[in-house]
Amino acid sequence: MSFPLYAPAEEHEMLRETVRALADEKIAPRAAAADENEEFPWEVYKDLVAADMHAVHIPEAYGGAGADALATVIVIEEVARACASSSLIPAVNKLGTVPLLLSASEELKQRYLTPVARGEAMFSYALSEPEAGSDAASMKTRAERDGDHYVLNGTKMWITNAGVSEYYTVMAVTDPSAGARGISAFVVEKDDEGVSFGPKEKKLGIKGSPTRQVILENVRIPAARMIGEPGTGFRTALATLDHTRVTIAAQALGIAQGALDYAVGYVKERKQFGKPIADFQGLQFMLADMAMKLEAARQLTYAAAAKSELAMHGTPVKDLTFFSSAAKCAASDAAMEITVDAVQLLGGYGYTREFPVERMMRDAKITQIYEGTNQIQRVVMARQLLK
């Protein structure tokens, strides 16, 4: 498979330094509390908005920073290094809005992307349902035409930042006889009559980001809020994930980098048998393997980001689906392995909440699950190879 040449430019490295400084100063000190209290980090959101890093991918035409895909990856990566829950602010804003960027009318883009760019609203993505996870095409949510409106009924499950986001990209069946080609995409607003939210899920990790059901009961919205043409919603959903799996890879990279950095600092200071434990070859090999896995995943993710950027600007990229799945899969698997090893390197201390690596290990697990489990990613990759 061929791929375009890519490399972080000088402005990307400057961006990394800026985001890391913000993350170290204002995000990392709040990460443990967000996890412990299971509260959305509103102060972090305000800081990201002030720095224009809450939705960097939105084009300048809609008031955004117009950052390319690699810059967006770097922002998410550096925020996740400090706090995985906070990294879901730029990541989910991208997930919710990419369907509009790919398929929506200009009117919808202006109406909904602009307030997100200004930091006045967040955007979530509602695809999964209680009985439609990996098999998303079997969704039951319905949207029935009624004059100039659609009426939506159904329940969406596992929706990240549900309740705090103002806007939702919702997939619903408009033609039950057409299978996946009968699914359409809509923008639903939090304040639409009939929209409610289930209780917060009690989760292993990313506890600072609420995950809830989005419940739609006779939600009547203008037909103009359909994203694209009727029946194109599932195609838009799959195209969206080709771009946003790269952001999950970025989150995984950041979590892994945070764990590796902390473990390296710890083993240099911790002494046993009269010398720093960093002097023991067995631990050095662990660190080398952790860094090797992380850097391999990072290069794959950056290559996938380069392909995503080309595709967003209309260049056909036949292997984007493969690369985005591969990046998400490799980075999340690496993050899980690296964070587990970081806990091991800290010994008993690593198992306590006084140290951040146990939180990082818990946070890393979800990156192997959401936006398509890694088993599904392998199915996707194999299909691309066997075409």
Q: What are phi and psi of 28, to 5 degrees?
A: -55, -40
48-52, long-range: CB < 8 A, 24+ apart: 48/22, 48/79, 48/86, 48/89, 48/90, 49/119, 51/18, 51/19, 51/22
Distance separating alpha carbons of residues 8 and 69, to the nearest angstrom: 11
Distance separating alpha carbons of residues 142 and 152, to the nearest angstrom: 6
Tokens of 39: 């509260």
Tell me 167's DSSP state: E
Judging by beta carbons within 10 Å of its beta carbon (0-12, 13-18, 19+), is residue 273 exposed, middle or buried? exposed
371 classed as catalytic: yes
Distance of alpha carbon 248 from the chain centroid? 4
Distance separating alpha carbons of residues 37 and 209, to the nearest angstrom: 11
Distance separating alpha carbons of residues 324 and 307, to the nearest angstrom: 9
Tokens of 340: 């587990």
SS3 of 226, please? Answer: strand
Query: Within 10 A of 18 (CB to CB), how many other CB atoms are there?
Result: 15
* Active-site residue, selected from the candidate residues 77, 309, 358, 371: 371
In 3D, which of 19, 82, 17, 109 has the Cα closest to residue 251? 82
SS3 of 219, please? Answer: strand
Catalytic residues: 371
